[in-house]
Amino acid sequence: MLTTLHKQLLNDYQHDFPLSARPYRDIADALGVTEAEVLSAFTELNDNNFISRIGPVIPPNHIGVSALLAMSVPEQQLQTVADKISAYPEVNHNYEREHRLNLWFVVIAADAEHLRAVIEAIELDTSYPAMLLPMLDDFFIDLGFKLELNHD
């Protein structure tokens, strides 16, 4: 069950996360709790899959290089292949699409050579070829959402 602190963290820190040497202490001070409570609450949110990471959203190719890729994976192997892909630290996210190319993912690397190496490793690891989908237009979708805080 989400506590008031969980809801405050989810609601108030989707954007404008403090950029300081002690961001969790800054959050704790703003919310009137301890830094340990904030860290514990974020750990609980992560452990219960309410969040998957805390970090910046950087536009594609502003730092390093990135690529959108797609694979055609049989339905019965989709989760296994997605889990293998997600294990690569260079993979930002992956998701299922209703299409012949049903597994899409984003890879980020320091340079083009590293990007190619990661893609090749993923193809070898999964036994499926990946189709590189070039970015023609850049779109930013803000996936933040407002939580209703008055219901516990």
Q: Are residues 39 and 74 in the same domain?
A: no
In a domain, 88, yes or no: yes
pLDDT in tens, 4-24: 999 999 989 988 899 999 999
pLDDT value at 63 more than 90: no
Does residue 129 lie within any of the structural domains?
yes
Domain range for residue 19? 4-47
74-79 long-range contacts, CB within 8 A, separation 24+: 75/102, 78/102, 78/103
Residue 107 lies in a domain: yes
Stretch (H or E) spanning 19? none
Query: What's 64's DSSP letter?
Result: S
pLDDT of residue 9: 93
Q: How many domains does the chain have?
A: 2
Tens-digit pLDDT profile for residues 83-116 = 999 999 999 888 999 999 999 999 999 999 999 9
The secondary element (H helix, E strand) that includes residue 95 is: strand 91-96
- Indicate the helix (H) or strand (E) that contains 39: helix 35-47
